[in-house]
Structure 1
Amino acid sequence: MAIPMPIVQDIRRLDRQGMSRAQIARRLHVDRGTVAKYADMEDCSPKPKADRRYGSKIDPYAHLVDEWLEADRMLPRKQRHTIRRVHDRLLAETDYDGEYSTTMRYVHRWREANRGMPDREGYVRLEWAAGSMQVDFGMARARIAGEMADVHCLVASLPYSNMRLCVALPGENAECLCHGLMLVFEHIGGVPPVIVMDNATGAGRRNAKGEVALTGVFSAFVAHYRLEVRFCNPYSGNEKGSVENAVGFLRRNLMVPPMRAESYGQLSRLL
């Protein structure tokens, strides 16, 4: 199956720069055979599509479905169109009378063709300077003062040294975020110059354009500590893979079975 043209462009650009084809495959999440095919291709002009004797019933409404799916990119994953929702809207809002399977095939093709497209403008270098810190929240269950409770674990990772720290908190709001970071700074005896986060949990809110507006509490915290805060692209966990791995390790190891503590402070010391 053909891959999107921006990926073809990236394959050929990286191949020209001398990057090995195995590295290109890992970086772009494609098969090595695909990399070789497009890197060696002499003519990259699009091939004319074969004529179809019979069109699909969804074709007249394809532009509308494309608009819905494109708009979904700016929304949380749980607030996006499912295939069923796309089909129901077509039936309710248009004269479409196709089967669900027709809608399903079209949405699958669209998603496959547009996978990974929002962030094709560039890549974040995965080389981290000393002092850079990645921060993320992870959820786990623990027994606090005899009762089972959801624990919001603020995990901080220093990729340069691979040092990892965790603070157990009752929530993921700005106050909890600032308190957890203060405990981390106190433990390491310093303040990192750069903090990298993903979805602005507790720090602020991301608008439809992808811009993050910090909360008043976190803005004051950043100004006090003279921090540079960066937010990676939505759903691009690879841009802060160190802390993502740390969160996974915490869930699979330290919190299995669920830990017991009399307070969140005691649980943090255990972690």
Structure 2
Amino acid sequence: MAIPMPIQQDIRRYDRQGMPHARIARELGVDCGTVAKYAGQDDCSPQPKRDRRFGRKTDAYAALIDQMLEADRMMPRKQRHTARRIFDRLVAEHGFDGSYSVVRRYVKEWHETNRESSHGYLRLEWDPGVMQVDFGVALADVAGVERTVHFLVATLPYSNMRYAVAMPGENAECLCSGLSMVFERMGGVPSVLVMDNATGAGHRDCLCSIGD
């Protein structure tokens, strides 16, 4: 069934505003496949096939996007650019007037072309009362100086509740101090603790005060 032109125009307008496709579908009463079909179209008139890997709107910005994605290789995984963040930066910093969907397609294709080797994984099922604990790092501005900050992350996978505490290191004192603060914040303790990576948990070479 043909989609009326006003709905096609609404799909493209909402997509340029960055609205998720699922929400566009709900707002306009169409399915997600229809939204995906029309979202990236600038003109619904029949077009000749183009010998392009990516949407034409991104061609002038390809070097900028590549630069962001290449720089992400040196950043902690949780601080890397998402397609949404790249789209927002292109609009705010470079006047990009294309749709979010063409940026998302470009980023997806870039990652597929530059895919890093990865390891397999198993899907885990978690019971209530089980807490998973891990350390992570992030770059932070501390008194005007960029520093690498360690933090303890405690997750209750069953409810997807998370707690994070900044720490000066990743050893036994920091682990105990961080967990003490998390438990105090929670108002209780879990029945089971699962350490995702306990490599430094037995080391005692860092100053971390543990509350009484």
Q: TM-score band (shorter)?
A: 0.3 to 0.5
TM-score by length of 1: 0.29
TM-score by length of 2: 0.37
